[in-house]
Chain A
Amino acid sequence: MYNFKYQRASSLDDASKAAAAAEDAEYMAGGMTLIPTMKQRLAQPSDLIDLGGIASLSGIRRDGDALAIGAMTRHAEVASSEEVKSAIPALAALAAHIGDPQVRNRGTLGGSIANADPAADYPAALVGLNATVKTDRREIAADEFFTGLFETALEEHEIITEVRFPIPEKAAYVKFPNPASRYAVVGVMVCQAKDGVRVAVTGAGPSVFRVDAMEKALATKLSPQAVEGIKVPEDGLNTDIHASAEYRAHLVTVMAKRAVAAAIG
């Protein structure tokens, strides 16, 4: 790893000022992606600004008909939170199956979505549950937040502060995990809320996407049979050592069916 200047920010303001003043700053949350990336010298920031000391970025609270979760909230906290388990059990279960216990003790919601790994779990939750990302500058709808492979709508040095998840009527997330890392080879979040049904897929493509045909079919009848015959085209899906695009397309249907069954079950 190349050397860098390390600073622990004490407030949001402190963090953004430090970032603006630095030559090439990078924020650090849990470090679970950033530190390995720096070890491989794929990232070499001049300044590392640790968000870990900003208390206001962490925590889970009920906010009307939604849950607001701070960007620095660790996966383990989301997984074990009584508030999350009762309001959106699918979200607690998703967090409980990210990586391993040590990754969950450090990794954060904000870090996961800022990184926008194509195989990460949280993007499916944000898009599936129709969440809103709050930053130090504005609010961004989940549908607009993820823009491509490791790409988001975040501007330079913009800091995610929290994510607001509307509480759905029914929701479930099912993934086919990579047996080594637990990242999603394909993961599907199905959600029924007042304003309709959403189906969000992670792992399959360069970035999370919704499946319109499945949403329409499920709006008529929320049953696994409704999605059984719907296949997403394999064009543009990921092919790697773990799975071919063809297999991923197949898994989208299978995971969607299981997610619907779990949501109504």
Chain B
Amino acid sequence: MTVTVSMTLNGKKVSADVEERTLLVSLLRDHLRQTGTHVGCDTSQCGACVVHVNDRSVKSCTMLASQVDGADVLTIEGLAKNGELHPMQEAFRDNHGLQCGFCTPGMVMSALDLVANNPDPSEREVREWLEGNLCRCTGYHNIVKSILAGAKAMRKGG
């Protein structure tokens, strides 16, 4: 049994035929070859798979591909514009917000959901928001610094 899933991915209309049990993350990675979204735990714990569905951050390992039929999906690949990094990505680079980089796409996507609703978060708010994002390299200090810097750059329209 297969279903056709159509969605807007990073501004472009795409569709794919998948089995009903296909997870959103495997639609992205295996069917559409967008491998920026990672799978860390596959058990809804780590946040490496965070993407946006209709402007809210979600764990794409805990959604079915069928559930995003007709939705607007944004992944890490959709952030850079004309070869220029998004200010939040740039802030991660400037502040050493990544070590191995495995958790980074999820961290960035999660951070952008925070900043969309709270443009000037406190350090505490950033730390609380990252409850669902684990960094196995444990570089939390610089991740928090990066997000605060990224939020600041975004406030300036950078």
Contacts and interface: CB of A to CB of B under 8 A. Distances in A.
A103 interface: yes
Given A2-B21, A6-B66, A76-B56, 13 more contacts: A8-B66, A31-B63, A35-B23, A35-B44, A36-B43, A100-B131, A101-B114, A101-B129, A101-B131, A102-B57, A105-B56, A105-B113, A106-B63
Interface in A9-64: 31-32, 35-36, 38-39, 48, 50, 52
A194 interface: no
A5 B67 contact: no
A213 interface: no
Given A100-B132, A101-B113, A101-B131, A3 B67 contact: no
B147 interface: no
A86 to B, nearest CB: 19
Interface class of chain B by DSSP = mixed
B143 interface: no
Given A31-B62, A105-B58, A106-B63, A100 B47 contact: yes
A102 B20 contact: no
Given A1-B21, A3-B20, A106 B131 contact: no
Contact of A36 (B44, B47, B56, B58): B44
Contacts of A32: 44, 62
A101 B63 contact: no
B62 A101 contact: no
A150 interface: no
Given A1-B21, A5-B20, A102 B50 contact: yes
